[in-house]
Amino acid sequence: MTPSLQKIAITLLIALILAVANAEIYRTADQVSPLLPGQTIPALRVLDLDGEFMEIDPDKLDRPVVLTFYRGGWCPYCNLHLAELRNAESELKALGFDVWFISPDKPELLKEGEQSEFDYALFSDPQSSAAEALGIAFDVDAATLEQYIGFGIDLKDRTDSQRAVLPAPATFVIGSKGVVQFSYVNPDYSVRLSPEVLLAAARAYSQDQQSRLKNRRG
Q: How far apart are CA 108 and CA 183, in angstroms?
A: 29
pLDDT value, residue 23: 66
pLDDT tens digits in sequence order for the chain, 218 residues long: 554 445 433 333 344 444 444 568 999 999 999 999 999 999 999 999 999 999 999 999 989 999 999 999 999 999 999 999 988 999 999 999 999 999 999 999 988 765 455 567 999 999 999 999 999 999 999 999 999 999 999 999 999 888 999 999 999 999 988 999 999 999 999 999 999 999 999 999 999 998 888 787 76
- Domain spans, the chain: 3-217
pLDDT value, residue 215: 80
Per CATH, the number for 3-217 is 3.40.30.10
Buried b (16+ CB within 10 A) or exposed e, 109-134: bbbebeeeeeebebbbbbbbbbbbbb
| pTM of the predicted protein model | 0.86
137 Cβ contact list (under 8 Å, min separation 6): 24, 25, 26, 32, 128, 131, 165, 166, 167, 168
Q: Which neighbouring-strand residues pair with 124?
A: 47, 103
Q: How far apart are CA 175 and CA 198, in angstroms?
A: 14
Q: How far apart are the first and last CA of the chain?
A: 33
Q: How far apart are CA 181 and CA 173, in angstroms?
A: 5
Integer CA distances (angstroms), 156 to 146, 160, 170, 214, in order: 12, 6, 21, 50
85 Cβ contact list (under 8 Å, min separation 6): 68, 99, 195, 198
| Residue 201: other Cβ atoms inside 10 A | 20
Phi, psi at 131, each rounded to 5°: -60, -40
Cβ atoms of 158 and 78 within 8 Å: the answer is no
180 Cβ contact list (under 8 Å, min separation 6): 35, 36, 37, 38, 39, 40, 41, 172, 173, 174
